[in-house]
Amino acid sequence: MVQTIKVKFCGFGENFTVDAFPFKELLSSKYDLQISDNPDYVFYTPVDSEHHNYDCIRIFMTGENLIPNFNYCDYAIGFSTLSFDDRYIRLPLWAYSKGIAKRAEERPNMFSKQDALNRLFCATVISNATQTDGMREKMFETLSTYKPVASGGKWRNSVGGPVPDKLKFQSGYKFCLCAENTYAPGYTTEKLLEAFASGCIPIYYGDPLAIQDFNPKAFVNMHDYPNTDALMARVKEIDTNNELYWSMMQEPTFLSGTMDKYSDEKIFAFFDHIFSQPLDRAKRRFYFKPYQDFDYRNFKLRDIKLILKYFLLKSFKKK
């Protein structure tokens, strides 16, 4: 029998529906998620303060380089390599894309040797160039002194406009510059995975722990080099040595056991453990009345309005 679960999504965007929830299909065999204004569970991203309005079980989710505050959430899904009893599961953003991961595994068989070698030099797809630590742009500029890097995103576009199909675009190039916005242990988004799925050799910067999931012999990792000039020298060596390039293309994408770490079974077990408990027992955060998870120095007017609304509603309910 399918159990109905009353949920609310906060910080996912105005038009977000339960059908867009990435785990809906996985959970559907046992749970029917129904959006409610009186939820038992709130899934939230920390882009606003709407989740402050719901004193129920809170589940933190993020696609950004953010660490959950377990004083304010009961459970969390994130990038960081944390271990916190039953309250946390690490699920990097790339692991949400099982179909693309399957395609990335096929990289060694995606091209013949000659077709792989006959491609152009390097591609990248960058749209955000403001909220970064600057390394991505520096890598782009250094590589471009060797050969032109085709830019298919909004940033420094050189192909006549943003490309409609990122994977198809990147597949026409031997290398793909795929760098995260920032350096942070555990923070691996979709960029590295999509480079592999395009059949390229990734030139990567970001998560220094990415080598715990992805085969370090299969890509060029900025963390292995003291500066971008040394990185470029290595890329040039691979680009001009056909046998070296082809040997890297034949390396497996993932380390053994990687996909098991992020299996559907483990994700389902995490949620099932939460939903199968009585609500009072599922709560994990410690709360006492004077405590508030607010940074008063960084209040925005929107936040103040939401907080006032929350306490006004609570006072009316008591009456």
pLDDT at 47: 86
Burial class of residue 97, CB neighbours in 10 A (0-12, 13-18, 19+): middle
Mean pLDDT of 219-243: 98
In tens, the pLDDT along 115-133 reads 999 999 999 999 877 778 8
Mean pLDDT of 270-290: 86
pLDDT at 310: 61
pLDDT at 131: 74
Of the candidates 32, 24, 30, 55, which has an alpha carbon nearest to the alpha carbon of residue 42? Answer: 55
What is the token pair recorded at 298?
A: 């960084």
pLDDT at 296: 47
Q: Which residues contact 75 (CB under 8 A, 6 or more apart)?
A: 57, 58, 59, 60, 86, 87, 88, 270, 274, 284
- The three-class DSSP label of residue 45 is coil
Domain layout of the chain by residue ranges: 3-91+262-318, 95-256
Please provide the distance, in angstroms rounded to a whole number, between the alpha carbons at the two ends of the chain: 39
Q: Scan for tokens 């939230």, then name that residue.
A: 44
| Fold: same for 3-91+262-318 and 95-256 | yes
1 falls in which pLDDT band (50, 70, 90)? Answer: confident
Q: How far is CA 185 from CA 1, 73, 132, 196, in A?
A: 41, 22, 16, 20
pLDDT at 282: 96
Question: What is the chain's mean pLDDT, rounded?
Answer: 91
- What percentage of the chain exceeds 70 in pLDDT? 90
Backbone angles phi, psi at 156, to 5 degrees: 50, 40
Give dist(CA 228, CA 261) in Å, integer: 32
301 pLDDT exceeds 60? no
In tens, the pLDDT along 63-104 reads 888 899 998 899 999 999 999 999 999 999 999 999 999 999
In tens, the pLDDT along 22-74 reads 999 999 999 999 999 999 999 999 888 899 899 999 999 998 888 999 988 99
The architecture that CATH gives domain 3-91+262-318 is: 3-Layer(aba) Sandwich (3.40)
Of the candidates 248, 239, 159, which has an alpha carbon nearest to the alpha carbon of residue 196? Answer: 248
- H helices, E strands: number in the chain: 12, 11
Is there a contact between 118 and 246 (Cβ–Cβ < 8 Å)?
no
Topology adopted by domain 95-256 = Rossmann fold (3.40.50)
313 falls in which pLDDT band (50, 70, 90)? Answer: low
Q: What predicted TM-score, i.e. pTM, was given to this entire model?
A: 0.86
303 falls in which pLDDT band (50, 70, 90)? Answer: low
- Estimate the share of the chain in helix, then strand, then coil, as percent rounded to the nearest 5: 40, 15, 45
What is the token pair recorded at 85?
A: 């009893």
Of the candidates 177, 171, 220, 172, which has an alpha carbon nearest to the alpha carbon of residue 198? Answer: 171
Give dist(CA 237, CA 135) in Å, integer: 21
pLDDT at 2: 94
158 pLDDT exceeds 50? yes
